[in-house]
Structure 1
Amino acid sequence: MKLLTITIPCYNSEEYMEHCIETLLPGGDQVEILIVNDGSSDRTREIADRYQAEYPGIVRAIHKENGGHGSAVNAGIANATGLFFKVVDSDDWVDADSYREILDFLDLVAKDGRRLDMLISNYVYEKIGASHKKVMKPSGFPVDTFFSWDDVKHIRKFHYILMHSIIYRTALLRECGLHLPEHTFYVDNLYAFHPLPFVKSIFYLDVDFYRYFIGRSDQSVNENVMVERQDQQLRVNRLMIDEFTRRRIHPKMCRHYMRNYLEIVTAVTFTVLMLDGSREASKKREELWRYIRRHDRRLYAYLRRSPVLRALAIPGKGGHMLSYYGYRLVQKIYGFN
């Protein structure tokens, strides 16, 4: 069994996937790199096959019909032979020193036979034109020690763990029944949300491992693209509501964290609808409120009290301008999009 399976979802990634792969190859025989070609029409297949031929036993090319990012991740989980599982998008990369620390730690865990469900590390915004690289670290989690949800005493209100920060135990992803929807963007939120109630043992390693590239105009997180794909953001938001409300979530801090995460994702949805600014977008926001209320009245009451969600829903031109400039301020501080 490999120590770590790294899945690289690729769709027409010929321009940047080689850089991503090259940063992962130093893992050597400890890692399995699955290059999932999601129905690309460029040289992605050729590049994947070349790396498989050059690095047999380390790189494996998987070719499939186009199904979207979630479908590629599903294929990675289904084919993984590693004890642990990581997703690295084809336009991102990893830091060499942190990578070695991650692998050394996972190797120790495997040799000790200790259970580890989720390893958390930091990620860095690699934004085009930005002189300062923003490092995103989780808050409220113990550092350099194993812990459970019961050991977490405080989680900052608007902080959540993205897919970039997470390495899961592979068997846990299969046990929890994670299956991401196809032909849908923004499913990384579901990936970082659905398995959490099944996670019993966590470790936070304070290293700047993942490098998250942003700045291409065609990226799914580009502001204009998000407005165009607002219905997919809404779909993921509803699926997260479904996941949160369909079962009793324990421990209490896990439920608290997931509720906060829902608040943030709903705020992102409302922001996208605010940036659209149309009457139809306002209707979609009210439809989402009704959806939440039908599914869980307590969650609805909690979100209705959220200062951020209330600010994003201030009526009239003045309210829209206030929301818009508030969003721009937060964007400048954190450097996203």
Structure 2
Amino acid sequence: MKLISFLVPAYNSEAYLDRCLLSLVGFGEDVEIIVVDDGSKDSTGEIADRYALEHSNVQVIHQENGGHGAGINAGLKVATGLYFKVIDSDDWVDQESCAKLLELIKSFLKEEKVPDLILTEFVFECLADNTQYTMQYRKYFPMGRHFTWNEMKAMGPSKVLMMHALVYKRSILKECELNLPHHRFYEDNLYVYQPLFYVKSLYYFPVPLYRYLVGRGGQSVEKHTMAKRYMMQLDNMRELVKSYQYKQLKSLDKKHYKQMSHLLSNYSFLTLFFISQDYVKQKWKDYKAY
């Protein structure tokens, strides 16, 4: 059995795809690596195909451009691993941390106690000043052991779970029938939130598994880019709110319900914050022009 299916959605990624895949291929048959070439116009597809020829644990899907969400959907359909992890093509994994994670999953199987969700830390790799910042959740989750929603602490209004920290059990993603929208940015909030309804058991493994590159030109997370795409953020927010009816959420254990409600509030706060920044600036420009 493959322990983890690593999905790499890739669009015009020729400049950095090598680094991403090199960080993954060395784990052999414990993992499968699924690269989804999302209609790239550069040599991304050829690079991915080369890795598939050289490494038996790599497979490639070529598809018409559908966006990041479409890439995740395509990869999830063919994935066979016990767990599922998305790695964006300009990011990479810390190999030492990944080796430790694989050993941890083997211990879960030996104990016959496999959590629905593994949470790890991740590192912001800042291009502008070559600095690093590690995102941790140690204040909120018990470390190094299995736990449930009842043992979690609520996060502050500016703190949310991010895709980079999550390793979902693949069966959870199947159970929630995850189907992300095509041609839309910031759908990662849907990926994080919607499966949580089905998560009963968790494990926080405090290693810096994911290396998240920030500061690259054209990234969707740049502030001015996020502001321009505020309608996509609103669309995602609407889908988050509609994910579950009130009666469904109330059917959960009290702490599970509270945590999901709290996360939804935090996502709403951050979405409105970015939108309002752009809105206020534009209104001020309109006023001065008048």
The answer, yes or no, to whether TM exceeds 0.5 is yes
TM-score, normalised by the number of residues in structure 1: 0.79
SS in 1 for 2:261: helix
The alpha carbon displacement at 1:29 in A equals 1.1
**1:252 maps to which residue?**
254
Counterparts in 2 of 1:73-112, with a 5 A limit? 73-112=72-111
Q: Which amino acid aligns with 2:125?
A: E
Residue aligning to 1:303: none
TM-score normalised per structure 2: 0.92
AA of the residue aligned to 2:36: V
Q: Aligned with 1:204: secondary structure?
A: strand
Q: Does 1:156 align with 2:155?
A: yes
CA 1:142–1:2 in 2, change beyond 3 Å: closer, same or farther? same
Offset of residue 27 of structure 1: 1.4
**8 Å Cα contact 1:11/1:39 also seen in 2:** yes
CA–CA separation in structure 1 for the residues paired with 2:140 and 2:244: 22
Aligned to 1:313: none
Contact map agreement 1:6 1:32 (CA 8 A) in 2: yes
Letter matched to residue 77 of structure 2? A
Partners in 1 of 2:92 and 2:141 — Cα distance? 25
Q: Corresponding residue for 2:287?
A: none
C-alpha separation between the residues in 2 aligned to 1:197 and 1:223?
30
Q: CA deviation digits over 1:42-89, x for unaligned, max 9? A: 111101110000002x00011111111111111111110111110000
Q: 2:143 aligned with 1:143, yes or no?
A: yes
The residue aligned with 1:197 is 197
Deviation at 1:211, TM superposition (A): 0.6
Q: Which residue of 2 aligns with 1:228?
A: 228
Secondary structure of 2:221 counterpart:
coil
Whose relative contact order is higher, 1 or 2, with alpha carbons under 8 Å and at least 6 apart?
2
- 1 CA distance for matches of 2:216 and 2:210? 18
| Cα 1:219/1:247, change in 2 over 3 Å | farther
Letter in 2 for 1:35: V
Equivalent residue number for residue 277 of structure 2: 275
C-alpha displacement of 1:261:
2.0
Identity of aligned residues (%): 38
Match in the other structure for 1:6:
6
1:42 counterpart = 2:48:
no
| Aligned residue number for residue 64 of structure 1 | 63
C-alpha distance in 2 between matches for 1:43 and 1:219: 19
Structure 1 position 129, deviation (Å): 2.5
Cα distance in structure 1, aligned partners of 2:217 and 2:230? 16
Kept in 2: contact 1:141–1:155 (CA 8 A): no
CA displacement 1:165-190 (0-9 Å, x = unmatched): 00011111101111111111101111
Question: Could you say what secondary structure the match of 1:60 adopts?
Answer: strand
Q: Which position in structure 2 is the counterpart of 1:324?
A: none
- Following superposition, the deviation at residue 272 of structure 1 comes to 2.5
RMSD, matched Cα = 1.7
Q: Give every structure 1 segment of 4 or more consecutive aligned residues whose post-TM-superposition deviation is greater than 4 Å.
A: none
Gaps of 5+ in 2: 285-290
Aligned letter for 2:111? Answer: D
| 1:36/1:72 contact within 8 Å kept | yes
Instruction: State the one-letter code of the partner of 2:162.
Output: L
Secondary structure of residue in 2 paired with 1:225: helix
Unaligned runs of 5+ in 1: 283-316, 318-337
Pairwise CA distance, 1:19: 0.3
Partner of 2:265: 263
2:4 and 2:275 map into 1 onto residues whose CA distance is 39
CA shift, 1:246, in A, is 5.2
- Deviating more after overlay: 106-115 vs 221-230: 106-115
Q: In 2, Cα distance between the equivalents of 1:172 and 1:140?
A: 22
For residues 193-229 of structure 1, what are the alpha-carbon distances to aligned partners after superposition, in whole Å with 9 as ceiling and x for unaligned?
A: 0011110111000111111111012001011111111
SS in structure 2 of the partner of residue 98 of structure 1: helix
Count of residue correspondences: 280
